[in-house]
Amino acid sequence: MNHSVSLSGQIGRLHLDPVLLNASGPWCTYDEELRPLAASRAGAVVLKSATLEPRHGNPEPRVSCDREAGTSINAVGLANLGYEGHAEQLARLKAEHPDKPFVASLAGLQPEHFAVMARRLGPVADALEINLSCPNIAGKPQLAFDPEASRRVLAEVRSVTTCDLWVKLPPFQDDRLVEQMAGILLETGVQAAVCINSPSGLDLDLETETTAIHPRGGMGGTGGRDVLRVALWNVRQFSLCLGEKVAVIGCGGIESGADVLKHVLCGASAVQVGTTYLMEGPAVFARLEAELAELLQKKGVAQLGVKRGALRVLEAAPEGAWTQNQIRWKDGR
């Protein structure tokens, strides 16, 4: 560990050190998965999204990883212990790891379920992640794409708990819709936006001409290398709209310390790691921490926070002339 560089940060009331967390989803449902995570260098532990009732989830195989491509796809179907089960689990784990922040994630199958779960989990968690973007419920649109329903759910949850609220958002692809959602987050007084949940996608095996996962016709939430730039767009757009009042937690495509810094430059105050945690397990957090500290030290930076939102935008060429596209080749050739 590199002690000359600080990788700590603050989200609402939570002090995170380092600001590297797991993303809700992989290896965070059962005590056997959460214990090694809590003992790792992750700055906080985020639990699998809870529903009102326990769920077994979709048929297997429901998660597929491609190490070479650095990608994953899943349609787990919200396998979880139910919110009562998660509340008991939190009490157990917090007793074992009193200094580790724990974040419970809520996924209501009906909008009114969120407040029921928040009332119970708010007092036992250090923050609640309100998942408005679960893509794997058959026949249900994601709440985040219904602004009025999102506003109602967040206002209702805000009224039943004083716990810090993080909101897990899907990838947006439209500036105006980002502004609208950012307005709702500012209005309802949440502490953080988590950008992004997994974009919908499809993966397949060319040899056997079969889908990579079984449920939902092989379609699911994708993660890893190919979602990084979509995540960075969302982190940047939301952080520009939210300013200092609501933090942005970046999630998507982080494989290295350099990728963490990319999220931070775009405006992230902390990051979550999904696919790479799925592939490497809890040791990934110590690796990312070491890589990030080394990178910052090389840049002569003592505190990660000074790089937050520090991305410099190239000045545009004057308009009005006919030009050919001047392509910048990143390899310099």
Active site residues: 134
Rounded to 5°, the CA angle 288-92-160 comes to 90
Contact yes or no for 287/36 (Cβ under 8 A): no
What is the distance between the alpha carbons of residues 197 and 244, in angstroms, rounded to a whole number?
22
63 binds ligand DHB (CB under 6 A): no
Choice between 197 and 269, CB closer to ligand DHB:
197
- Residue 55 gets which letter from DSSP? B
253 binds ligand DHB (CB under 6 A): no
Minimum distance from residue 70 beta carbon to ligand DHB (Å): 18
Minimum distance from residue 293 beta carbon to ligand DHB (Å): 30
Minimum distance from residue 56 beta carbon to ligand DHB (Å): 11
Residues 205-234 interacting with ligand DHB (rule: CB under 6 A): 221
Choice between 62 and 158, CB closer to ligand DHB:
62
Contact yes or no for 161/116 (Cβ under 8 A): no
Q: Which stretch binds ligand DHB (CB under 6 A): 72-80, 84-92, 150-158, 270-278?
A: 72-80
| CA-wise closest residue to 293 among 333, 257, 266 | 257
Contact with ligand DHB (CB under 6 A) among 75, 93, 115, 260: 75
278 binds ligand DHB (CB under 6 A): no
What is the distance between the alpha carbons of residues 142 and 150, in angstroms, rounded to a whole number?
10
Minimum distance from residue 142 beta carbon to ligand DHB (Å): 9
Residues 35-54 interacting with ligand DHB (rule: CB under 6 A): 49
Choice between 269 and 275, CB closer to ligand DHB:
275
167 binds ligand DHB (CB under 6 A): no
What is the distance between the alpha carbons of residues 193 and 230, in angstroms, rounded to a whole number?
15
> CA-CA-CA-CA torsion for 161, 140, 48, 44, nearest 10 degrees?
-60
DSSP per-residue letters across 84-108: HHHHHHHHHHHHH-TTS-EEEEE--
What is the distance between the alpha carbons of residues 58 and 45, in angstroms, rounded to a whole number?
24
Residue carrying structure tokens 């935008």? 313
| CA-wise closest residue to 272 among 27, 1, 3 | 27
Choice between 77 and 218, CB closer to ligand DHB:
77
Residues 120-149 interacting with ligand DHB (rule: CB under 6 A): 131, 133-136
| CA-wise closest residue to 124 among 157, 155, 88 | 88
29 binds ligand DHB (CB under 6 A): no
Minimum distance from residue 146 beta carbon to ligand DHB (Å): 16
Query: Which residues contribute to the site for ligand DHB (CB under 6 A)?
Result: 49, 74-78, 107, 131, 133-136, 197-198, 221
